[in-house]
Amino acid sequence: MELNKQISKRNYYSFLWHAVFLALAKNFMDVDIIIPAMMVDAGGSSLQVGMLIAIMLGGGKFAQLFFAPFLNNRSAKKFYLLGGINTRIFALAAMALLFYFSSHVNDSFIVWSIFILISLFSISGAFANINYTDILGKSVLQEKRKSFFSIRQVISSIIVFLSAFLARRVLIAYGYPLNYATLFFIAAVLLGIASLGFWKIKEIPASNFKIKGLVKFIQIITHEMRLNKKLKNYVFLINTQGVSLGLMPFLILYAKKNLSAGSQDIGNFLLLKVIGGVLAGSILFYYSKKIKYQYMLYITSIIAILIPLSILILPGSIFFPYIFLAGGIVFAIHTISTEGILLEVTNNENRALYTGLSGAGNILPVVFPLLSGWIITEFGFRLFFILFMLIIFLSFYFIYKLDCKK
133-187 confidence digits (pLDDT tens):
778 877 777 777 767 777 886 787 788 888 888 988 888 888 888 999 999 999 9
* Mean pLDDT estimate for the chain: 83
Phi, psi of 385 (to 5 degrees): -65, -40
pLDDT (average), residues 313-319: 81
* CA distances (Å), origin 2, targets 78, 110, 135, 185, 228: 17, 50, 13, 40, 28
* CA distances (Å), origin 197, targets 12, 200, 233: 10, 6, 34
Helix 293-313 and helix 247-258: axis angle, to 10°? 20
- C-beta of residue 334 within 8 angstroms of C-beta of residue 300: yes
pLDDT (average), residues 9-14: 83
* CA distances (Å), origin 17, targets 22, 25, 94, 158, 294: 9, 13, 25, 14, 29
| Alpha-carbon dihedral angle through residues 12, 17, 21, 27, given to the nearest 10 degrees | 20
Give the residue with greater pLDDT, 217 vs 377: 377
Closest Cα to residue 114, out of 164, 168, 170, 56?
56
Task: Give whichever of 48-52, 219-223, 257-261, 319-323 has the largest mean pLDDT.
Answer: 319-323
Per-residue confidence (pLDDT) for residue 353, from 0 to 100: 66
Closest Cα to residue 312, out of 223, 381, 373, 374?
381
Closest Cα to residue 183, out of 102, 252, 97, 265?
97
Q: How many CA atoms lie within 13 A of 40 on its CB side?
A: 24
> Which positions ≥6 away from 84 have C-beta within 8 Å?
124, 125, 127, 128, 129, 131
Alpha-helical regions (H) of 174-262: 178-199, 213-227, 229-240, 247-258
Angle of CA points 383, 386, 388, to nearest 5°: 110
State how far the Cα of 402 lies from the Cα of 398, in Å rounded to an integer: 6
String of b and e for 52-61 (b: at least 16 CB within 10 Å)?
bbbbbbbbbb
Residue 41 has pLDDT above 60, yes or no: yes
- C-beta of residue 37 within 8 angstroms of C-beta of residue 255: no
Q: Residue 4 CB: number of other CB atoms within 10 A? A: 10
* CA distances (Å), origin 45, targets 92, 111, 119, 180: 22, 10, 18, 18
Per-residue confidence (pLDDT) for residue 211, from 0 to 100: 65
CA 369 from chain centre, in angstroms, equals 15
Pick the CATH number of 5-402 from 1.20.1250.20, 1.10.510.10, 3.40.50.2020, 1.10.357.10: 1.20.1250.20
Residue 338: which H helix or E strand, with range? helix 323-344
- C-beta of residue 30 within 8 angstroms of C-beta of residue 328: no
Domain ranges for the chain? 5-402
Q: Residue 176 CB: number of other CB atoms within 10 A? A: 15
Q: pTM to 2 decimals?
A: 0.76
Per-residue confidence (pLDDT) for residue 302, from 0 to 100: 96
Phi, psi of 208 (to 5 degrees): -105, 150
pLDDT (average), residues 267-294: 82
pLDDT (average), residues 209-213: 64
State pLDDT tens for residues 68-87.
777 767 777 788 889 999 99
State how far the Cα of 30 lies from the Cα of 383, in Å rounded to an integer: 26
String of b and e for 208-225 (b: at least 16 CB within 10 Å)?
beebeeeeebeebbeebe
